[in-house]
């Protein structure tokens, strides 16, 4: 367990699955997730039941949502992640293949990433590199304009 002061004004206990918490090991209750999304706990449960929001069931039958998966979902839905990022010290800039490995929301096949020029060159701004190389060497099937990674990080590079 990890007690964190919340940017929402409440002191929270966040479930951590290891003694040395890293962002991928922080899990939230459905009520905590609801606070970050500014929705009811029932809405969170509906998102879980419909498969939109991944979660893990505890042995006691409760749902736990990994903070990184909640963040990826919030980005996809156009929600602000500022409070979640602050409270969980959650998000560092990562490569696109790391982002998609965590969120599981890649338009292409994850196995294609190993041979992708973006990964081979360790490019942070894959959405910019794509305009300068042969498209057959960039293995994303979808448009960069629809990409969750670009939506999450493109604004960071503008400043």
Euclidean distance between CA atoms 82 and 141, whole angstroms? 29
- pLDDT greater than 90 at residue 26: no
Q: Secondary structure of 103-121 in the HEC alphabet?
A: HCCCCCCHHHHHHCHHHHH
Q: What is the pLDDT of residues 72-130, one digit of tens each?
A: 899 899 998 888 877 776 556 678 887 777 666 665 666 678 888 888 888 888 888 87
pLDDT value of residue 102: 67
Q: Are 108 and 97 in contact (CB under 8 A)?
A: no
d(CA 68, CA 74): 10
- Tell me the whole-structure pTM to 2 decimals: 0.51
Q: Which pLDDT band holds residue 11 (cuts at 50, 70, 90)? A: very low
- Which tokens go with 84? 């979640």
Q: What are phi and psi of 68, to 5 degrees?
A: -65, -40
The crossing angle, in degrees rounded to 10, of helices 67-76 and 148-158 is 80
* Alpha-carbon span 32 to 44, nearest angstrom: 10
User: In the chain, pLDDT over 90 holds for what percent of residues?
Assistant: 28
Cβ atoms of 121 and 129 within 8 Å: the answer is yes
SS3 for 21?
A: coil
pLDDT above 80 for 71: yes
pLDDT at 139: 74
Q: Cα 153–79–102 angle (5° rounding)?
A: 55
Please report, rounded to a whole number, the percentage of residues in the chain having pLDDT higher than 70: 70
- The pLDDT confidence band at residue 148, using thresholds 50, 70 and 90, is confident
Task: Say whether 30 sits in a helix, a strand or coil.
Answer: helix
Q: Could you tell me which residue, 47 or 20, shows the higher pLDDT?
A: 47
Please give the average per-residue pLDDT across 61-68, as a whole number. Answer: 93
Delineate the domains of the chain, giving CATH numbers in brackets. 2-88 (1.10.10.10), 96-158 (no CATH)
Q: Which residues contact 91 (CB under 8 A, 6 or more apart)?
A: 23, 68, 71, 81, 85, 152
């Amino acid at each position: 367990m990890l007690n964190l002061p919340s940017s929402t004004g409440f002191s929270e206990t966040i479930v951590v699955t290891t003694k040395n918490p890293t962002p991928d090991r922080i899990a939230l209750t459905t009520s905590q997730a609801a606070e970050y999304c500014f929705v009811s706990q029932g809405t969170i449960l509906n998102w879980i039941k419909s498969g939109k929001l991944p979660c893990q069931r505890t042995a006691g039958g409760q749902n736990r949502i990994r903070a990184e998966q909640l963040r990826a979902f919030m980005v996809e839905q156009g929600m602000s992640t500022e409070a979640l990022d602050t409270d969980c010290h959650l998000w560092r800039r990562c490569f696109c293949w790391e982002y998609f490995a965590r969120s599981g929301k890649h338009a292409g096949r994850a196995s294609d990433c190993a041979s992708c020029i973006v990964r081979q060159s360790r490019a942070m701004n894959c959405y910019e590199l794509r305009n300068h190389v042969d498209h057959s060497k960039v293995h994303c099937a979808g448009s960069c304009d629809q990409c969750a990674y670009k939506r999450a990080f493109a604004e960071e590079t503008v400043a």
